[in-house]
């Protein structure tokens, strides 16, 4: 049987795309191999949101060029994902040994290199669902992005927002749940944009309701939120629907209004604060994470200090921080100067990492003595591990299998994880309890 190997870098959407491509290949009788040298088809699913991600793909392509030369043309190589723009001419010139350059989710283009005779149109892709690799799975619900933040390449590579019909998403979630998935994460670059392009204009909250009672499904998450699209209805539905986890990822990107305007984020800090305030009011116990870029074009020391102060004020559970790197083709790369020295960017990045480590350690320490519901995902040594509803990693002594939920008494914490032991029977989740028994 022919074999394939997929290498994925980048966001959860890329992981979901790779899983879907793999499901299509399985359906056609292909086997996966972890060893690229055994594969008949190697797919690099690439990311170009940061320069580093692109450099990793380029270095991988150097290895593949040698591998392909050794295999006398038997090996097919596909490059898929955000590195591939509308025109792939420059990529074809630079990497002539690559058989196909396919845009994000252009699965048919990848398969055409190895199965040119096969007709894979119609219902083939809509009825191809990734085989779960554990109790949690990603489900893309809206593709693309209409926002055009000045630093971001995504709209140019993934195109405009396109929502999947509710019935199609609900069917996929039902199939995943039948196959043992207990938690789905609904994905979109701006997930609250879900539905605005569909005839009935359903909202993300409508989608939550449509899948909420799927038999076997226990948790619903959603990623990534765009502050301006976050409606009261979505926030309230998270508070009301028991299966929707009280976790929000809302990138702020900068704590300075002038920088936000240069980024064309479309909101002010006061508007952002108001979203966070509503979440904390209407969804008690909600965890919130955010993304920040430091060293964006023209960011002064004072403007950086505003970002630092905002993070200290809002005290997020997690902060993903990145140093700005210009992406060719974006508005910023065409019209602004990347004028913050790399050393200064790294200083700012480390300052935020240090600040956040302290905040996360304090927030997590506040959970010691509470019981948290943990969805078991695996085990390491003598301990099971999984995530709480607030998306915190927990390691604990107990019994159970992946997909089970356990009530875990939190006994220790760090900035990155929680530790404890299972208590039976589980007292009310989230409240401090006394000693329990395993």
Q: Which two tokens stand for residue 240?
A: 């009301």
Residue 362 neighbours by CB under 8 Å, 6+ apart: none
CB burial string 116-143: b at 16+ within 10 A, e below: eeeebeeebbeebbbebebbbbbbbbbb
> Minimum distance between the CB of residue 422 and ligand SF4, rounded to whole angstroms?
39
Segment holding 46, helix H or strand E: strand 41-46
Closest CB to ligand SF4 among residues 185, 413: 185
* Segment contacting ligand SF4 by CB under 6 A, of 15-23, 143-151, 369-377, 426-434: 143-151
Is residue 292 near ligand SF4 by the rule CB under 6 A? no
Closest CB to ligand SF4 among residues 56, 147: 147
Closest CB to ligand SF4 among residues 24, 140: 140
Give the binding-site size for ligand SF4 (rule: CB under 6 A): 10
Closest CB to ligand SF4 among residues 95, 226: 226
Is residue 359 near ligand SF4 by the rule CB under 6 A? no
Helices 166-178 and 204-212: angle between axes, nearest 10 degrees: 40
> Minimum distance between the CB of residue 148 and ligand SF4, rounded to whole angstroms?
6
Give yes or no for a contact between 235 and 283, defined as CB atoms under 8 angstroms apart.
yes
What is the DSSP track for 310-334?
Answer: HHHHH--SEEEEEE----TTSHHHH
Interface pick for ligand SF4 out of 64, 149, 205, 367 (rule CB under 6 A):
149
> Minimum distance between the CB of residue 134 and ligand SF4, rounded to whole angstroms?
26
Is residue 155 near ligand SF4 by the rule CB under 6 A? yes
Give yes or no for a contact between 244 and 390, defined as CB atoms under 8 angstroms apart.
no
Interface pick for ligand SF4 out of 30, 194, 226, 316 (rule CB under 6 A):
226
Interface pick for ligand SF4 out of 46, 163, 189, 370 (rule CB under 6 A):
189
Is residue 145 near ligand SF4 by the rule CB under 6 A? yes
Other beta carbons less than 10 A from residue 387's beta carbon: 23
Is residue 152 near ligand SF4 by the rule CB under 6 A? yes
Is residue 190 near ligand SF4 by the rule CB under 6 A? yes
Closest CB to ligand SF4 among residues 164, 265: 265
Binding mask 8-27 for ligand SF4 (x = CB under 6 A): --------------------
Closest CB to ligand SF4 among residues 187, 374: 187
Binding mask 338-357 for ligand SF4 (x = CB under 6 A): --------------------
Pairing relation of β-strands 383-388 and 371-380?
antiparallel
> Minimum distance between the CB of residue 154 and ligand SF4, rounded to whole angstroms?
4
Interface pick for ligand SF4 out of 27, 147, 280, 305 (rule CB under 6 A):
147
177 three-state secondary structure: helix
Give yes or no for a contact between 231 and 237, defined as CB atoms under 8 angstroms apart.
no
* Segment contacting ligand SF4 by CB under 6 A, of 1-9, 38-46, 142-150, 169-177: 142-150
> Minimum distance between the CB of residue 260 and ligand SF4, rounded to whole angstroms?
11
Pairing relation of β-strands 405-413 and 417-422?
antiparallel
Residue 336 neighbours by CB under 8 Å, 6+ apart: 150, 262, 297, 298
Residue 221 neighbours by CB under 8 Å, 6+ apart: 183, 184, 185, 186, 244, 245, 247, 391
* Radius of gyration of the chain, Cα coordinates, nearest whole angstrom: 23
Q: Which residues of the shown chain bind ligand SF4 in the complex (CB under 6 A)? A: 145, 147-149, 152, 154-155, 189-190, 226
């Amino acid at each position: 049987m022919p074999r394939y190997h997929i290498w994925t870098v980048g966001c959860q959407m890329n992981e979901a795309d790779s899983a879907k491509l793999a499901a299509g290949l399985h359906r056609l009788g292909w086997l996966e191999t972890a060893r690229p040298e055994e594969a008949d088809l190697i797919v690099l699913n690439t990311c170009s949101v940061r320069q580093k991600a692109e450099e990793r793909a380029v270095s991988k392509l150097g290895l593949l060029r040698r591998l392909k030369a050794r295999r006398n043309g038997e090996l097919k190589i596909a490059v898929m994902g955000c590195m591939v723009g509308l025109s792939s001419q420059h990529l074809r010139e630079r990497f002539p040994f690559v058989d196909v350059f396919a845009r994000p989710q252009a699965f048919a283009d990848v398969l055409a290199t190895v199965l040119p005779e096969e007709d894979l149109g119609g219902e083939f892709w809509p009825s191809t669902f990734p085989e779960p690799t554990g109790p949690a799975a990603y489900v893309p619900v809206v593709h693309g992005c209409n926002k055009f933040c000045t630093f971001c390449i995504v709209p140019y590579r993934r195109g405009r927002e396109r929502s999947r019909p509710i019935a199609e998403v609900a069917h996929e979630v039902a199939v995943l749940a039948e196959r043992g998935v207990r938690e789905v994460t609904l994905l979109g670059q701006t997930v609250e944009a879900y539905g605005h392009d569909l005839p009935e204009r359903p909202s993300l909250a409508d989608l939550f309701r449509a899948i909420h009672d799927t038999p076997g499904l226990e948790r619903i998450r959603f990623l990534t939120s765009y502050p301006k699209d976050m409606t009261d209805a979505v926030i309230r539905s998270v508070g009301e629907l028991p299966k929707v986890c009280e976790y929000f990822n809302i990138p702020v990107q900068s704590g300075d209004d002038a920088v936000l305007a240069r980024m064309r984020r479309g909101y002010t800090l006061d508007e952002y604060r108001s979203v966070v305030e509503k979440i904390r009011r209407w969804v008690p116990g909600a965890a919130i994470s955010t993304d920040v870029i430091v060293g964006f074009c023209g960011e002064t020391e004072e403007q950086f200090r505003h970002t630092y102060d905002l993070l200290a004020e809002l005290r997020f559970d997690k902060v993903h921080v990145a140093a700005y790197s210009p992406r060719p083709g974006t508005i910023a790369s065409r019209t602004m100067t990347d004028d913050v020295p790399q050393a200064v960017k790294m200083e700012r990045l480390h300052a935020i990492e240090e600040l956040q480590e302290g905040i996360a350690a304090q927030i997590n320490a506040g959970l010691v003595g509470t019981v948290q519901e943990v969805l078991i995902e695996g085990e390491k040594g003598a301990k099971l591990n999984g995530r709480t509803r607030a998306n915190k990693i927990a390691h604990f002594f107990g019994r159970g299998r992946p997909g089970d939920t356990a009530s875990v008494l939190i006994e220790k914490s760090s900035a990155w994880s929680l530790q404890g032991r299972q208590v039976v029977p589980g007292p009310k989740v989230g409240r401090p309890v006394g000693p329990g028994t395993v």
